Every structure is written in structure tokens, then in C-alpha cells.
């Protein structure tokens, strides 16, 4: 029975996802984040302005 716990732990370790690993690296997204901005679906928060697009044009790049 102890082997099942070990097997479960090993499988959980092997199939864990690293944060952000599922995001494809779009050039516009990388450029937005390198400038210290962030990507957001829809309008930017009130104190931010739209400075471009992210994720192949699906998201807005928000800048302070």
C-alpha cells in the first residue's frame, strides 16, 4: 500500500505545470512585458493607458 503513495507522489511531480509554461511566447507579449507593462483582456484599469496589443492582438498592453 505504501508503494501507491510513492507512485502518486512521483506522478504528481512529473506532471506538474510550471507557472506560465502554457503561455505561448508571442513577440508582442514579450515586448509589452519587457517594458514593465502587463497584458489584459478588455479595458485597462483607470490609471493605466493602452500602449499596444498582446497575445497576437487579442489582449491590450496596459502602461502606467
* pLDDT reported for residue 21: 56
The answer to whether 31 and 51 are in contact (CB under 8 A) is no
pLDDT tens for residues 5-61? 888 888 778 777 656 555 567 899 999 999 999 999 999 999 999 999 998 899 999
The whole-angstrom distance between residue 2's C-alpha and the CA centroid of its chain comes to 37
Residue 4 pLDDT more than 70?
A: yes
CATH for the 25-63 domain, from 3.40.190, 3.90.1480, 2.160.20, 3.10.360: 3.10.360
* pLDDT reported for residue 16: 74
How far apart are alpha carbons 6 and 12 in whole angstroms? Answer: 10
pTM over 0.75: no
* pLDDT reported for residue 20: 57
Amino acid at each position: 500500500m505504501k508503494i501507491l503513495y510513492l507512485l502518486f507522489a512521483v506522478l504528481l511531480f512529473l506532471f506538474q505545470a510550471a507557472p506560465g509554461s502554457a503561455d505561448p511566447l508571442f513577440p508582442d507579449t514579450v515586448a509589452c512585458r519587457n517594458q514593465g507593462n502587463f497584458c489584459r483582456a478588455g479595458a485597462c484599469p483607470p490609471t493605466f493607458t493602452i500602449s499596444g496589443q498582446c497575445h497576437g492582438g487579442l489582449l491590450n498592453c496596459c502602461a502606467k
